[in-house]
Structure 1
């Protein structure tokens, strides 16, 4: 186990250097910047993805590492680490019912760099990643960006035979966006096209429910949205 944690800290060095280098390039060539908190979260999430790729049976997921970095200390008792992760200050991702696929989507709007982005991840009832996307969008108000995140997940779902024939659940941390998508009218005037598309898909095309869920259960989608602000084009991957 000591060798494993030595490997973790060696990897952390390269993840930090890589993240700082990418941030430097964004600031110089794209005139965009991330906050210290965003960089901190991104480093931990990337490190978690590296650890998962090693397939060594480490008991914490990338998002758990992001929420509680103390689990990376080899001298921390596992029960204490789990207890810290399980504080009621957040709600962990909950799986959908058997046979249901769940989208978690989010949006990011950075005022300083005048950039916006959306992100989302699709998982099955076992938590298996099926699809994810991370995409820059025009700089817009946050509620509009949240609508675009829902719109993108639904567009992907309609264009895939896997999701088009499935029962879907979509969670967003924007109460306003969810309310507008589930109603037959209302919402920002400049989002009429997207809202009508979502409403039509919800009523006729897809078997989908759109619900509001707090950001605390949406860490992966939140991270994908923040990463999208640094992309030139959309990243989408099916697992």
Structure 2
């Protein structure tokens, strides 16, 4: 599957924002602002107040929110996963966009949850923190949260996810229909289109 112009544009924005964030002195903009305002944050030198994407709903009952998306171009087809970890102010603390091989959307959704939880569980700064892993796949969330559900196709992944949840303090994965905004969706599409794989992690 060929990468669309919009997917390619998103990939370029990610790379430009990440470079300016870590290689330009005096750049105090959060990554979230830079992605939304490439020209102002990477070219204009004056301070601009950070603002969030209007379609994103900040966490309320938990301090951090990790929106994840997994999708495939067929059944099976090229599959990609994407996710964005943000605090209640919309500041991005991490993100990922990965191609995960050939599979269906169920596989991709499980792998997206697995990747997000693995990143959190291996970060000592997040142990004990309130974190919501949010997916719009009811089936994937049910498999991960319900101890009585046994999906043989994803048994190893589910066991690893539950181990990571235990490390984090028995956090639960949350189902929220159409919870993810365009950014994690673009990250997953970039992955399924075999775009540049990356994991950006501030923690």
Q: TM-score, with normalisation over the residues of structure 2?
A: 0.73
Q: 1:60 to 1:205 in 2, by over 3 A?
A: closer
| Corresponding residue of 1:133 | 96
| Corresponding residue of 2:72 | 109
- CA offset at residue 190 of structure 1? 1.9
Indicate conservation of the 8 Å contact 2:67/2:179, yes or no. no
The match for 1:49 among 35, 41, 51 is 35
Alpha-carbon displacement from aligned partner over 1:88-108 (angstroms, at most 9, x marks no partner): xxxx32211386111000012
Q: SS state of the match for residue 215, structure 1?
A: coil
Q: 1:165 to 1:112 in 2, by over 3 A?
A: closer
Alignment partner of 1:205 is 2:162: no
Q: SS state of the match for residue 126, structure 1?
A: coil
Larger helix percent: 1
| Corresponding residue of 2:118 | 155
Q: SS state of the match for residue 153, structure 1?
A: helix
| Corresponding residue of 2:156 | 193
The match for 2:191 among 228, 233, 239 is 228
- CA offset at residue 210 of structure 1? 1.1
| Corresponding residue of 2:23 | none
Q: TM-score, with normalisation over the residues of structure 1?
A: 0.63
Which ranges of structure 1 fall in alignment gaps of 5 or more residues?
1-31, 65-91
| Corresponding residue of 1:96 | 59
Alignment partner of 1:174 is 2:137: yes
How much is the aligned-residue C-alpha RMSD, in angstroms? 3.1
**Higher relative contact order by CA 8 Å / sep ≥ 6: 1 or 2?**
2
- CA offset at residue 46 of structure 1? 6.4
How many equivalent residue pairs?
A: 176
Q: SS state of the match for residue 130, structure 1?
A: strand
Q: SS state of the match for residue 90, structure 2?
A: coil
User: Within 2, Cα distance between the matches of 1:59 and 1:155?
Assistant: 29
Indicate conservation of the 8 Å contact 1:98/1:125, yes or no. no
User: Within 1, Cα distance between the matches of 2:12 and 2:178?
Assistant: 19
Q: SS state of the match for residue 148, structure 2?
A: coil
